[in-house]
Structure 1
Amino acid sequence: MGGHAPGTAGDEHLDTLAAAARAALVREIEASGAWAADPVWRTAFEAVPRHLFVPYYYVGVVGGHERRWGEHPDPAARERWLRGAYADTPLATRLRDGELLSSSSQPSLMAMMLTELGIRDGDRVLEIGAGTGYNAALLAHRLGDDDLVTTVDLEPEITESARRHLAAAGYRPAVVTGDGTRGVPERAPYDRIVATCALPAVPPAWLAQCRPGGRILTPFATGLLALTVYDRGRAEGRFLHTAAYFVPLRGGGRPDPRPPGLGAVPRRARDDDLFRFLLGLTHGRLDPQEAYALWEREGAPTRERYGVTVSGDRAWVWLDAPEGPYSWPLPY
């Protein structure tokens, strides 16, 4: 696939550097074990040039952000941009008044999520949150048929740039401007739905547009929820072991993971990611003292002990078992 970054046509040095940086990123993801269960993803990450999807991005510096871009007049600055494009880190791609609106996710996390989707040849996939278009390109490469992939985003400027990046890299999946919570019914049904933005609930439209036996993978409360869809109104699944922080679906910054009222909770719990995950999951249904008592009693439960069930017009999160002693209603 390859190609040149904007403004660097004919720059053989950058071309060579891009190939070497991409190969190094693939080795790093390989070492992380992200695609161990489905090594076919290695080929996609080897082939899809990430730098074409991030013609510019922002890095944090003292006092704000620095814009790195592929058309910088200084060759050393272009090289910094290119090396950064292949770092195994998330890249901030859109800011508004200093607030993060859109980003390109950490590649190793993307690889792990794509592997967890369990995609098979011929699957139709819906992506919620087009971002830069990079994830849609990886999906299109894996499936070998652009028409099997649909990506949707609410912001027209995001879908326009994603479409442009995809075309530059040689991919043409369906890029739709619309509300991701409604899915894309005109291209349903889907075998897999993957969200790359955080949501407060599982939208009913996703279940309705997913084939029975399909899989939904979505960020939820600093975790990743993997649901199996049984029919239009029922899905169930557990969280993956990993933490995951994503931009909320409608833009805006990451919510503060520390709700009020934590003063009486010991600092070691307040600072513990798994305790904050429990607080986020229970949506204020547990006050911090109750949550702390549960957390202590159950031995600081890991993410994969929690799950979610959607049934009819109800949805709830649970610890260990759907009908177990610990469950809390979710908005639905």
Structure 2
Amino acid sequence: MTADLDARANAADLLDGAGCFPEQWMRSAFMAVPRHRFVPDTVWLEDPAGYRPFNHTGDPARWLSLVYDPREALVTQVDDGLTPRGTPGQTPTSSISALNAVFTMLAESDLHHGQQVLEIGTGTGYNAALLAERAGPGHVTTVEIDPAVCEQARAALAATGYEQVTVIRADGELGHPPHGPYDPVLSTAAVLAIPYPWIEQTRPGGLIVTPWRTAFCSHGLARLTVHDNGTASGHFAGATTFMTLRGQRPRTRIGELYTTKRWQEARSSPLTPADLVTRLDDPHAAFAVGLRLPGVAHWPQEGHWWCNNDSWAHADEEGTLHQWGPRDLATETATALDAWHTEGCPTLFDYGLTATKDGPVFWLGDHDHPIP
């Protein structure tokens, strides 16, 4: 057995043992598609300075083990491909998803032979090949916004026998009407709002499966059924974290709002309650807060920061809160956490989403209990 087949077989056993192949076709597809042939020779590994290139020729065995690691994504592009040569990259912008996340999404997509499938975010092309194994030749359309990534994926698909996958270089938020209607639409990039063309291009009763995030919280997986009234709804089905669609990347205004002068002007007080940020360690709590505080970003950095379009807050490691702007973002976070606790600390699986032309509506349990 060659090294790549051995790595694939070992990964299959690990995935199988973790319950990642709920249907037999998934293991068969995994064994059929040579994942390593979709990964560029150069990938990007994180270190304290950022992301540095790692080439296959430097350590082929390690490269192969990274490709077939069941639990870790592998970064294939940083900074939208604009990183100056010889400098570390700062922001991962394309990757091949972790295998356990790949098959979680495939399971939620309820794929069947003969369906027309639209994939948003081609990336390496690996996921499109898995989709083609299930849906069949000529039934998969995949859209990629980055021209270089798109060409690499198109070449990899052709070289591995999946030339009947249609690869489109375009903005995935627009879908691809000519090959619709689809069932399902499957996105490999997270969204903050469901692009309405996805709903329009999915047949009634069809599925949209996409990673979901808020400005506050980066993890979620939406599984929505499209209705004939032009909406799509369903519960959140998982806690996967993916890169965000380019057109929907959260961009905080902290660089504009924070200045030395405003730091000096900021209101200072003890953080109340003192355990506010540790309560956010619960991923279900953070998810619920994100639904209630649209547009509010939160991240740890030498303490914890919050920011929206006109205010910021910082809780330092000594427990002092500094806030500037009209909103009290820390208190709003505490209020949202209290509401989540009053509701019985529901998991993210208890929440749902209705996507409309005017934007998302969130609810707890069912549509009759919208999140205020």
**Alignment check: 8 A CA contact 2:205 2:227 kept:** yes
Query: Post-superposition shift, 1:41?
Result: 0.8
Please give the secondary structure, in 2, of the residue aligned with 1:43.
helix
Q: Which residue of 1 aligns with 2:371?
A: 327
Residue 251 of structure 1 and its aligned partner are, at CA, apart by 7.6
What is the 5 A alignment of 1:237-248? 237-240=234-237, 242-248=238-244
Query: 1:150 corresponds to which residue?
Result: 141
d(CA) in 2 for partners of 1:116, 1:311: 21
Residues 180-225 of structure 1: CA distance to partner in whole angstroms, max 9, x if unpaired?
A: 1111011111010011111110111111100111011011121000
1:267 Cα deviation from its structure 2 partner: 3.4
Q: Counterparts of 2:249 and 2:51 in 1: how far apart (Å)?
A: 15
Q: Is the 8 A contact 1:18 1:83 kept in 2?
A: no
The residue type paired with residue 156 of structure 1 is: P
Supply the distance in 2 between the matched residues of 1:49 and 1:86 (Cα, whole angstroms): 10
Task: Please tell me whether Structure 1 or Structure 2 has the larger radius of gyration of its CA atoms.
Answer: 2
Q: Which runs of 5+ in 2 are unaligned?
A: 80-88, 214-218, 253-266, 297-331
Q: What's the C-alpha RMSD, in Å, of the aligned pairs? A: 2.4
Tell me the percent identity: 37
Which of 165, 178, 181 in structure 1 is aligned with 2:173?
A: 181
2:19 maps to which residue? 33
Report if the CA contact (8 A) 2:351-2:362 is conserved: yes
Distance 1:253 1:315, change over 3 A: closer
Mapped contact 1:101–1:251 kept (Cα < 8 A) = no
Q: 1: CA distance between counterparts of 2:32 and 2:271? A: 50
* TM-score, with structure 1 as normaliser: 0.85
Measure, in 2, the Cα distance between the counterparts of 1:213 and 1:197.
22
Residue-by-residue CA offset, 1:289-308 (whole Å, 9 max, x unaligned) = 32111111122211110001
Unaligned runs of 5+ in 1: 1-14
In the TM superposition, residue 275 of structure 1 has moved relative to its aligned partner by 1.5
Distance 1:314 1:251 in 2: 15
Question: Where does residue 140 of structure 1 map in the other structure?
Answer: 132
Tell whether 2:254 aligns with 1:268: no
**1:58 partner SS:** strand
- Corresponding position of 1:300: 345
1:249 corresponds in structure 2 to 245
Give the drift of 1:279.
Answer: 2.3
Counterpart pick for 2:60 among 61, 78, 82:
78
CA distance in 2, matches of 1:255, 1:86: 33
1:127 aligns with one of 119, 129, 134: 119
What does the per-residue CA deviation read over 1:118-137, in whole Å, with 9 as the maximum and x for residues that have no partner?
Answer: 01111010011111111001
Which letter maps to 1:149?
V
How far off is 1:233 after superposition? 0.6
**Aligned twin of 1:282:** 292
- The 5 Å alignment of 1:208-247 reads 208-221=200-213, 222-231=219-228, 233-240=230-237, 242-247=238-243
Partner residue in 2 for 1:50: 35
Paired residues in the alignment total 303
